[in-house]
Amino acid sequence: MAPSAPEVVAAGSPHPAPPNASPAVLARIIYGILGVLFPDLAFLTKQAAIRSNGSATATEASRASQELLDYMGSLVDQRSAELKEDLINHLITTQPRRHSNLSKANVVQMVFLMLVACNATMVNMINLVAIPLHHPWTPPMRDVGVVELPVHMK
C-alpha cells in the first residue's frame, strides 16, 4: 500500500523545499500576472494573509480587504495613466471595448477576486506538485494518480 502524503512528508526529502516556499512562489506568480509592483509585495502578502487567516477578527479581515481594494483601485488608476503588459492593462484597454458596462470598479473587483481566489488554489497546487517532485521514490502514489487520469478523460 502506498504511504499517505503526510507520511511521505514526515519521511523527509533529500532536497527539501524552503519553509513557506509555496506562498512566496505564489505571490510572485499572481502579482506578476496582475502587474502588482514588487516593492508592494510584502504589504499585499500581509493584507491577503490577514484577510484569509481564520484567527483574524472580522474587523481585521474587513480592514485588510478594504486596504487591498484601495490598493487595487490606485493600481488601476496608475495603469490607466501608464500602460504595461499585465492583466490590469488588458482589462483596462481591451475589455471596455467588448463590454461597455465594465467600469473601474468592475476591474478592481476582478483583480481583487483573482488575488484572493488564486491564493489558496495556487498554494495547494504547488504543494501537490512539490511532494511528488521532492519524493520521486514513492511511485505507488504516482501510479495511483496515473491510473485515475483516463477515468476522468472519458
Summarised one tens digit per residue, pLDDT across range 139-148 is: 555 555 555 5
Radius of gyration of the chain (CA): 20
What is the distance between the alpha carbons of residues 98 and 154, in angstroms, rounded to a whole number? 35
| Residue 76 included in any domain | yes
Whether the predicted pLDDT of 123 surpasses 50: yes
Q: Which domain holds residue 65?
A: 21-153
pLDDT one-digit tens code per residue, 85-111:
888 888 888 766 666 667 888 889 988
Mean pLDDT score, 53-58 = 77
| Residue 118 included in any domain | yes
Burial class (CB in 10 A: 0-12, 13-18, 19+), 61: middle
What is the distance between the alpha carbons of residues 76 and 104, in angstroms, rounded to a whole number? 7
- Give the per-residue pLDDT at 12: 59
Whether the predicted pLDDT of 42 surpasses 90: no
What is the distance between the alpha carbons of residues 131 and 152, in angstroms, rounded to a whole number? 22
CATH number at residue 125: 1.10.630.10
- In total, how many domains does the chain have? 1
| Residue 129 included in any domain | yes
| Residue 7 included in any domain | no
Count of C-beta atoms within a 10 Å radius of residue 70? 12
> Which of 114 and 125 is assigned the larger pLDDT?
114
What is the distance between the alpha carbons of residues 85 and 91, in angstroms, rounded to a whole number? 11
